[in-house]
Chains A and B, each alone.
Chain A
Amino acid sequence: NAGVTQTPKFQVLKTGQSMTLQCAQDMNHNSMYWYRQDPGMGLRLIYYSASEGTTDKGEVPNGYNVSRLNKREFSLRLESAAPSQTSVYFCASRVSPGQGADGYTFGSGTRLTVV
């Protein structure tokens, strides 16, 4: 089992460019999440999808859009990248409703630099 796979692992963008970060899980999890982590900070929730077909905003959604393509895949899109979006992005998934936060599995991260 690969768990949660994020692509790409590294990316450099110019201000104003767009890109999509991909996340896929092979654990048949219902819920998926996107976090960002700035240097020296904890993770902050951007968007989440409690189940296939639903998405909701987290703490810091501005500048991002998400798509829950199917049960396995949850993508994060930056329409017009800004230097403030330079960060490490983590995708996570959780198995099912009713399971507590111990069920979270995280990917290894995408390191994004916007110049």
Chain B
Amino acid sequence: DAKTTQPPSMDCAEGRAANLPCNHSTISGNEYVYWYRQIHSQGPQYIIHGLKNNETNEMASLIITEDRKSSTLILPHATLRDTAVYYCIVSPLSYNTDKLIFGTGTRLQVFP
């Protein structure tokens, strides 16, 4: 699995957009980019994933560069409840054997 690099921490004002970057320069053609978050030592929660096109859902947007070597998770209007550790993970979509390999993530602090 490709390795990812994320900043250890970021701050964001409540109501503003939070942009969380991730580098994955060794990503393979069959590997997706996934984002999960972990709120206060709870179990991780899925946010979004994508292959090469930008994706959006009710929680966030995912922007993947054309060369797929980096991506950005965007929380459009951060709230205090978005304070969490965010993990960027690359993984192939495969039968039975895909498994999440976590890095240390980015700790996002949303302040009032």
- CB neighbours (8 Å) of A98 from chain B are 93, 95
Main secondary structure of the interface of B (DSSP, over half): loop
- Contacting A at CB under 8 A, from B26-47, are 32, 34, 36, 41-46
Residue pair B97, A42 in contact (C-beta under 8 Å): no
Residue pair B99, A33 in contact (C-beta under 8 Å): yes
- Give chain A's interface residue range (CB within 8 Å of chain B): 20 to 34
Q: How far does the alpha carbon of A4 sit from the alpha carbon of B43 in the complex, in Å?
A: 10
Residue in A closest to B100 when the chains form the complex, CB atoms: A101
Q: Is B76 an interface residue (CB 8 A)?
A: no
Residue pair A101, B89 in contact (C-beta under 8 Å): yes
Residue in A closest to B8 when the chains form the complex, CB atoms: A40
Q: Which residues of B contact A (CB under 8 A)?
A: 32, 34, 36, 41-46, 48-49, 87, 89, 91, 93, 95-105
Q: Which residues of A contact B (CB under 8 A)?
A: 4, 30-31, 33, 35, 37, 40-45, 48, 50-51, 56, 58-59, 88, 90, 92, 97-98, 100-104, 106-109
